[in-house]
Structure 1
């Protein structure tokens, strides 16, 4: 396998996409009346490339179809078209937030490809329901059912992350594919996690940071391996959202969309920084780490949104959940991205994130801040070799 490298040349061969165009006049008028600059910035970035959402097809019917995409993967591709004929024998995958939404279809696609899939879910009962649905879908599609397992993991709780990673490491399992998918979005009122951190920062970034940091050596030992972090175009926010001294957000300065923007920016900074640091671990030069924007999708991610946010996201929804999982599946499985790391993908193609998201110093500072927070909370980040 080719050595994993940061590939500027690869990115240049992909379709170039900067920030999307400003929304239509009616949309801009609404955004202008929005209650905060953060709201206006978030909603304005999605105005340029919208289409009606694709039809939501039952999993069994979609998996059974698994059609080849004649034009290659793009915005309209589904997870099944991206997966195509790729097979994942002897691969172990972990998908967070896998009981619904994009995570569900990402996990189902990986299982369809033959990977052993761990569904990391906050609610084990919902996880078991998702597992049953996946197994039925695979059976209907005539696919041999791989091992699908539900594991309890609450990303907003460092004790839950510690419990999961300790057990995982002691069991000696390999980990070839890690999809950091779980998240919450624009919680209307300031909430904190069990550990006292703003909920979006805790769930979207810090929990995933702790998870990946604890499993880094095991991932490197399992290489070749791929890590995909779900980010968003929402990271393209005003500079005021980029002050790391204000991370994690405080109650006094809290804004629902601004906090979401910050967490999505953190996702890209983390993915890029991890791509550098994991390469220093033996075997880590064969581990890729990329961030993806899944599209504007109506999923359980926005379950806490007030009516305004739900209506707006519905209007600007540009794909369904099966299509939303496509870029994650592409980065986890496609031969085209073998050896590509530290990139930001949108519509199954590498694209430029915001200028601040490529700031190496900001990535380093965020990493150090995150580790400091873990130390203060007593989260012992252990290497895979320290399993005793």
Structure 2
């Protein structure tokens, strides 16, 4: 396997100079979730939206807050923790008594849970207009697999979402205006291809946490390509999203402060190293979710990756490769034990 070669300076800061603004340039790196949601309100109001992996202080929670303010018909928040979901619901609704925000228990590391959640979702609503696959894990120190034998990052970040998305596809395809599936990736996708013959790192013998995370983030982008290949003609859109470096979320909880300082991501005083990485606020990160899901001026770019609220021309070619997307789809079907064919 190749060494992890992701360089934050060259791969985030420099590439930002060449990105193509979307929507006539009205969105950019500084755009917040509130600004994006207000601008795209007509595509949010009276729509049904699902966000996975919501937890307090997270990017998904902020996206939920901004979307809620634009009066969706139904906002479904999914997580393996009902406590986290309820905390987010209570935060975004304030003192209001609302019926348009619902919890959904979903454990992406357990395919039985994924199937149960999909069944419940289809009982809750016949139509889904936007699915934001936000849940994820990052740089888990030690190798582990799910009960199905799938490496932890690959299982949670990709395989669980692959199964959930396809199981609720009947509802997505009923969206009157055409649904969108957003898969949250990372600039770290540049660090690794998907190793189709060895996603489990020789059953952990060659495990490297950076590569495991990077491989799963490439899979997220290839999934968007695959959805566009198979369902673009049925009016389904799909985008990958790189929300950027956001130091206040919990996804990096497995990375020690010592390691963050050693890698230069944080300075010696234990603060985010803004000279090396152009860190963003949570609101700037989640704006990408909203642009991807609801901006109809970029329909013809389905399958691309969005970052800084722009189509990212610096996305690694291996994460956009059509043949790799087909191989990933086939591998994912094998891992979940079910085929999904769309005519």
TM-score by length of 2: 0.84
Are 1:294 and 1:325, in contact at CA under 8 Å, matched by a contact in 2?
A: yes
SS in 2 for 1:48: helix
Equivalent-residue separation in structure 2 for 1:114 and 1:245 (angstroms)? 45
SS in 2 for 1:130: helix
SS in 1 for 2:6: helix
Q: 2:6 aligns with which of 25, 30, 41?
A: 41
Equivalent-residue separation in structure 1 for 2:38 and 2:71 (angstroms)? 12
SS in 2 for 1:272: helix
Q: Partner residue of 2:269?
A: none
Q: Quick check: 1:327 aligned with 2:281?
A: no
Task: Detail structure 1 runs of 4+ shifted over 4 Å in the superposition.
Answer: 42-47, 380-384
Equivalent-residue separation in structure 1 for 2:230 and 2:106 (angstroms)? 25
Q: Quick check: 1:230 aligned with 2:188?
A: no
The structural deviation recorded for 1:129 is: 1.0
Q: Partner residue of 1:119?
A: 77
Q: Quick check: 1:288 aligned with 2:237?
A: yes
Q: 1:79 aligns with which of 33, 43, 46?
A: 33
Distance 1:243 1:383, change over 3 A: closer
The structural deviation recorded for 1:121 is: 0.9
Which structure 2 residue ranges, 5 or more long, are not aligned? 17-23, 267-271
Q: Partner residue of 1:147?
A: 100
Q: 1:243 aligns with which of 195, 204, 207?
A: 195
Mean CA deviation greater in 167-176 or 78-87: 167-176
Are 2:126 and 2:174, in contact at CA under 8 Å, matched by a contact in 1?
A: no
The structural deviation recorded for 1:230 is: 0.5
1:1-388 to structure 2, matched below 5 A, reads: 37-38=3-4, 40-41=5-6, 43=8, 45-46=10-11, 48=13, 72-85=26-39, 86-87=41-42, 88-100=44-56, 101-115=58-72, 116-136=74-94, 147-223=100-176, 224-237=178-191, 241-249=193-201, 250-279=203-232, 284=234, 286-298=235-247, 299-311=249-261, 312=265, 314-315=272-273, 316=277, 318-352=279-313, 353-375=315-337
Are 1:290 and 1:341, in contact at CA under 8 Å, matched by a contact in 2?
A: yes
Equivalent-residue separation in structure 1 for 2:120 and 2:85 (angstroms)? 18
SS in 2 for 1:289: strand
The structural deviation recorded for 1:257 is: 0.5
Q: How far does the alpha carbon of each residue in 1:348-378 deviate from its partner, in whole angstroms, 9 at most, with x for none? A: 1112221111211111001000100111xxx
Equivalent-residue separation in structure 2 for 1:153 and 1:317 (angstroms)? 33
Equivalent-residue separation in structure 1 for 2:339 and 2:3 (angstroms)? 37
Distance 1:383 1:47, change over 3 A: closer
Equivalent-residue separation in structure 1 for 2:213 and 2:113 (angstroms)? 22
Give the paired residue count. Answer: 316
Give the aligned CA root-mean-square deviation in angstroms: 2.7
SS in 1 for 2:206: coil
TM-score by length of 1: 0.75
The structural deviation recorded for 1:146 is: 6.2
Are 2:12 and 2:187, in contact at CA under 8 Å, matched by a contact in 1?
A: no
Are 1:80 and 1:326, in contact at CA under 8 Å, matched by a contact in 2?
A: yes
Are 2:13 and 2:278, in contact at CA under 8 Å, matched by a contact in 1?
A: no
